[in-house]
Chain A
Amino acid sequence: MSEPLLEVQDLHTVFSTKEGQVKAVDGVSFELNAGETLGIVGESGCGKSMTALSIMRLQRPGRIVGGKVMFKGQDLTRVSEYEMREIRGREIAMIFQDPMTSLNPVYRVGWQVGEPTRLHNGWDARKAFSSAVSMLGRVGIPSAASRARDYPHQFSGGMRQRAMIAMGLTTTPHVLIADEPTTALDVTIQAQILDLLRDVNREFGTATILITHNLGVVAGMCQRLIVMYAGKIVEAGPTADVFAHPKHPYTWSLLRSIPRLDAETHEPLKPIEGLPPNLVDLPSGCAFHPRCAFRVEKCSRDVPALLRVGDTQQAACWVTQSGTELKGG
């Protein structure tokens, strides 16, 4: 068993709002191995984006108040800003959700895609540009040489996202973090981009963290996944196992509430009752318990830890940790 490439240990990130302090990332621990694609799944406010931003030390105005992010023997939460800048873009690259705003409208696309190599590899403008052109070609932009001279507004959403991916890959990073990379795109374009990410993962061997709220995307892309809720990991494990037998009521209920394209009959959906948690005023004990169909008395008192449940999975749930199977009508 080789060393994990990236190891997050008990990470805590907070930020302040008018109503109080929000624990955006509340004790998150996971590993990323070389070459694998890890999915982080959750809804808005669950902390998945903040986790990624914290790894990149881009969490401001939030503050990392605890834990470690071990990467190549260094704790990224403790290195200097200068050292972090060396790592960002060169070793760990990130692509964002909204392709419309993640590219600077006043610079040509090729120039922007070449920026990481100019910064990190010290290449001159010409060399960086030609490498950008070749990378744009590899991510599937037709006539890359001439398109690289275009400005972002001349690119469609899908193409911009490809350009972002190209930009992330020019320095052949070890880790690629993709934060909702296809959420803002049409579904046929989404399929293209996901396909591209799969190819990239195969061809370059880049380990990928894929952050999304779409369980279908995770099912097709990730070997392992973690599910987040209210700043904590509630379930983790191999994708096939988590989908086949989820060990946390949240995951279990979520899977049952999504309409499936290949459903044979029209069964009424079984929604998760209640509202998403108020991050400033979290419920006592397990944050999910007010909405949980399986809760017991202990759930409202004590916060469950993420422990092994079954052979390959982990879940933070008193009920499943005590051996109860999740079943329902």
Chain B
Amino acid sequence: MIDPAAVEVALPRTDVAGTAFRPAQSYWSESWERLRANRVGMAAGGLVLLMVAIAAAAPLLAAYVVHHNPFGIDLYATFSPPSGAHWLGTDEDGRDTLIRLVYGAQVTLTVAFLSVTVSLLVGGTVGLIAGFYGGWLDNVLMRFVDILLSIPAIYLLILLTILQPKIGPVQLSTSDPRSLAVIIAIVSWGGLSRLVRGEVLTIKNRDFMLAARSIGASDLRLVLRHLLPNVLAVMIVAASLNVGAIIITESILDFIGLGIQPPTASWGNMLTNAQTYFYHSVWLVVLPGALIFITVLAMNLFGNALRDAFDPRLKS
């Protein structure tokens, strides 16, 4: 027996002759309203958006604001503290720290968001198919994912770095942000597919799926029109929470020398390079470190806010 919630916000006054009241509210617009009401989440999201904007505007900033480029070596001005010429000082090669941080943002954020997108596409598709069809297909796919997830990511990454395989016309190497993103996605889509599959299993047996089947909907229609919109929320939340993790992964890769190679700047490799100079130029360590920390925190807060917005029941 189902007991409808104690408060049923049914449309007041009776049926057929009734008049229209507030406009129809879809799940998405309701969720957006809930998100907007969450100040912390919106602030965090806004912060990330700001960083993305600054990163995207890197060349413009280099030309018109900062007047330095990230590769500009100036051996007369190494390790200079913040000054009028260099707002955040310079590093061991005299390069301007600020512009390197901005370009670093571009690299790091590209890796993170692109990787998450690829992960979502691959993992989401696999999860949808495995969950929807079940049976041997589900078994095969999930065992594959299990194997993938049991291999330590580091080894897989090292392997891919050494092998540098080609996917179509694209040569995968860790020094290029886009291919690094793809490599990280290859390693991390497994978790997402499990999550999606789990959600699909919850939804696919709901009555409305059976109802759609009973009126003659094809499998494709069931998956695209009914299943996907209901699973999307979970996918988006998982993706946004993954962004932070991938930023950290990228930093770790830089640390062991496998990630983005200098002189291209990324927050991770700036952090790594600066560790030798920790004692006399501590800001070279603190600045990229702080940016990583702030961005990861902001994405996590935003991801949580998204989850609360999409599924408010989870809170209480």
* A–B in direct contact per CB < 8 Å: yes
What is A's interface to B at a CB cutoff of 8 Å?
A: 17, 19, 22, 24, 44-45, 49-50, 61, 97, 183-184, 273-276, 278-281, 290-291
Q: How far is the CA of A17 from the CA of B6 in the complex (A)?
A: 11
Could you say which of B1, B7, B13 contacts A290, with CB atoms under 8 Å apart? B13
Q: How far is the CA of A31 from the CA of B12 in the complex (A)?
A: 33
Given contacts A274-B14, A275-B15, A290-B14, contact A19 B4 (CB under 8 A): no
Q: How far is the CA of A97 from the CA of B6 in the complex (A)?
A: 14
What residues on B are CB-neighbors of A279 within 8 Å?
Answer: 7-8
Complex A-B: 18 CB contacts under 8 Å? A19-B7, A22-B7, A24-B6, A45-B6, A45-B7, A45-B8, A97-B1, A184-B1, A275-B10, A275-B14, A276-B10, A279-B7, A279-B8, A280-B7, A281-B12, A290-B13, A290-B14, A291-B14
Could you say which of B8, B9, B11, B316 contacts A44, with CB atoms under 8 Å apart? B8
Given contacts A278-B9, A280-B9, contact A44 B14 (CB under 8 A): no
Q: How far is the CA of A50 from the CA of B5 in the complex (A)?
A: 12
What residues on A are CB-neighbors of B4 within 8 Å?
Answer: 44-45
A123 CB → nearest B CB, Å: 35
What residues on A are CB-neighbors of B316 within 8 Å?
Answer: 61
What residues on B are CB-neighbors of A281 within 8 Å?
Answer: 12
Are A278 and B12 in contact (CB-based, < 8 A)?
Answer: yes
5 smallest beta-carbon distances between A and B, as pairs = A274-B14, A278-B12, A281-B12, A183-B1, A184-B1
Are A19 and B9 in contact (CB-based, < 8 A)?
Answer: yes
B207 located at the interface, meaning its Cβ lies under 8 Å from any Cβ of chain A in the complex: no
Q: How far is the CA of A290 from the CA of B11 in the complex (A)?
A: 14
What residues on A are CB-neighbors of B9 within 8 Å?
Answer: 17, 19, 278, 280
Q: How far is the CA of A32 from the CA of B7 in the complex (A)?
A: 28
Q: How far is the CA of A50 from the CA of B1 in the complex (A)?
A: 19
Q: Which residue of chain A lies nearest to B3 when distances are taken between CB atoms in the complex?
A: A44
Q: How far is the CA of A182 from the CA of B193 in the complex (A)?
A: 41
A182 CB → nearest B CB, Å: 10
What residues on B are CB-neighbors of A45 within 8 Å?
Answer: 4, 6-8
A17 CB → nearest B CB, Å: 5
What residues on B are CB-neighbors of A44 within 8 Å?
Answer: 3-4, 6, 8
Apart from the given pairs A22-B7, A278-B11, 7 other A-B contacts in the complex at a CB distance below 8 Å: A17-B7, A19-B9, A61-B316, A97-B1, A183-B1, A275-B14, A276-B8
Are B15 and A50 in contact (CB-based, < 8 A)?
Answer: no
What residues on A are CB-neighbors of B15 within 8 Å?
Answer: 274-275
Q: How far is the CA of A311 from the CA of B7 in the complex (A)?
A: 36
Q: How far is the CA of A19 from the CA of B25 in the complex (A)?
A: 14
Q: How far is the CA of A49 from the CA of B7 in the complex (A)?
A: 13
Q: Which residue of chain B lies nearest to A97 when distances are taken between CB atoms in the complex?
A: B3
What residues on B are CB-neighbors of A290 within 8 Å?
Answer: 13-14
Q: A-facing mask of B121-134, CB < 8 A → 1, else 0?
A: 00000000000000
Q: How far is the CA of A312 from the CA of B162 in the complex (A)?
A: 91
Are B1 and A278 in contact (CB-based, < 8 A)?
Answer: no
Q: How far is the CA of A19 from the CA of B6 in the complex (A)?
A: 13
A151 CB → nearest B CB, Å: 24
What residues on A are CB-neighbors of B6 within 8 Å?
Answer: 22, 24, 44-45, 49-50
Tell me which of A49, A61, A281 has the highest count of chain B C-beta atoms within 10 A of its own C-beta.
A281
What residues on A are CB-neighbors of B14 within 8 Å?
Answer: 273-275, 290-291
A4 CB → nearest B CB, Å: 28
What residues on B are CB-neighbors of A24 within 8 Å?
Answer: 6
What residues on B are CB-neighbors of A273 within 8 Å?
Answer: 14
A146 CB → nearest B CB, Å: 31
B247 CB → nearest A CB, Å: 35
What residues on B are CB-neighbors of A274 within 8 Å?
Answer: 14-15
A12 CB → nearest B CB, Å: 16
A216 CB → nearest B CB, Å: 15
Within B1-57, which residues are at the interface with A (CB < 8 Å)? 1, 3-4, 6-15
A89 CB → nearest B CB, Å: 24
What residues on B are CB-neighbors of A19 within 8 Å?
Answer: 7, 9
Q: How far is the CA of A273 from the CA of B12 in the complex (A)?
A: 14
Q: Which residue of chain B lies nearest to A24 when distances are taken between CB atoms in the complex?
A: B6
Q: How far is the CA of A276 from the CA of B14 in the complex (A)?
A: 9
Q: How far is the CA of A183 from the CA of B1 in the complex (A)?
A: 7
Q: Which residue of chain A lies nearest to B312 when distances are taken between CB atoms in the complex?
A: A18
Q: How far is the CA of A276 from the CA of B316 in the complex (A)?
A: 26
What residues on B are CB-neighbors of A17 within 8 Å?
Answer: 7, 9
Q: How far is the CA of A301 from the CA of B293 in the complex (A)?
A: 62
B210 CB → nearest A CB, Å: 22
Q: How far is the CA of A242 from the CA of B307 in the complex (A)?
A: 50
What residues on A are CB-neighbors of B3 within 8 Å?
Answer: 44, 97
Q: How far is the CA of A44 from the CA of B316 in the complex (A)?
A: 21
